[in-house]
Amino acid sequence: MKNIISVDVEEYFHPTELEGCISAGRWTSLPSLVEPQTRQVLDLFSRHGVKATFFLLGWVAERHPKLVRDIAAAGHEIGCHSYAHRLIYTLTPAEFRDDTVRAIQAIEDACGVTPRAYRAPSYSVTAQSLWALEILVECGFTHDSSIYPISHDRYGIPEFGSRARTLWTPSGPLVEVPIATVKLSESRMAPVGGGGYLRLLPYRYTAAGIRRINRHEQPACIYFHPWELDPEQPRMARSWISRLRTYTGLTSMRSKVERLCTDFEFGPLTAVHPTPEPVDHPLTAVAAC
Ligand SMILES: [Zn+2]
């Protein structure tokens, strides 16, 4: 069975964990590492013959158009990871639309590809921001992978469940592909899909989780960031919890991704989940889960 491997392409200073230490106004003054870090990921995928989905930050696409072109030329799917990595539930619908349109434009300008798959910064499509899915459809997206069906202090809709499904928004259908989880009990879901969990936990935990999901005839959606494969990156997070979440397991991450690519088959998100027939699953039902 083909699973999905996805890469959220952003700089080491973009994660939400670092928001309190580095304002967006300082981004342009910091050394850029996204290009060499992402090229290492491209090399790794090339050696294993893996095709992935790369969710690009518009801010990165504007500054590294050659990198974006090379990702597309290597046969990977081009997705969108917003423009400025702002959490959706902190934005108004108008601000979210502006950010999304700007990101699409930056990605199109860089590589000539219009992204059809979206991933929110820090999985910030929650029960409070489901309105964003309708805007994504209006912006031309057919797929979204922004719901992590777990409980977390910053994101998550645990009741969404582990299966991909077509949601019926007022503007049309959208295939929602949640990040991989396994069910521990009726009310508890365990994260499997990455990126911090892949770094923090032993490889066998992730591998066993993917196998369990596949036994139920479901593909697993896995993600990581290029900076997670770089143990030499500057350490900018301050609080102990942010340092734990951001920097633990960096040295073993590359070998874990290598093992994933050896042990499992992967494909791009929209190829693994081609748009199915629309299912009348209204967003209000998700919100009421
Ligand atoms: Zn991100």
For the chain, first and last CA: distance in Å?
Answer: 29
Tell me which residue range forms the domain holding 27.
2-287
> Any idea what the CATH number is for the domain that residue 246 is in?
3.20.20.370
Query: Which residue has 């042990």 as its token pair?
Result: 263
pLDDT digit of tens for each residue in the chain (289 aa)?
999 999 999 999 999 888 888 889 999 999 999 999 999 999 999 999 999 999 999 999 999 999 999 999 999 999 999 999 999 999 999 999 999 999 999 999 999 999 999 999 999 999 899 999 999 999 999 999 999 887 777 778 878 888 899 999 999 999 999 999 888 777 677 888 877 888 988 999 999 999 999 999 999 999 999 999 999 998 888 788 888 888 888 899 999 999 999 999 999 999 999 876 556 555 655 644 4
> Side-chain half-sphere of 75: how many Cα atoms within 13 Å?
8
- Which tokens is 111 given? 């590589």
Measured between alpha carbons, how far is 11 from 35 in angstroms, rounded to an integer? 9
- The alpha carbon of 280 and the centre of ligand 1 are apart by a number of angstroms equal to 30
Four-residue CA torsion sign, 107, 81, 232, 252: negative
Cα–ligand 1 centroid distance for 185 (angstroms): 29
The CA 120 to ligand 1 mean position distance, Å, reads: 7
Write the CA distances from 221 to 28, 64, 201, 283, integer angstroms.
32, 26, 17, 22
- CA–centroid distance, residue 15 to ligand 1 (Å): 6
CA of 164 to the centre of ligand 1 (A): 21
Q: Total domain count for the chain?
A: 1
Whether residue 48 contacts residue 90, with contact meaning beta carbons closer than 8 Å, is answered with: no
Which residues on adjacent β-strands are paired with residue 169?
172
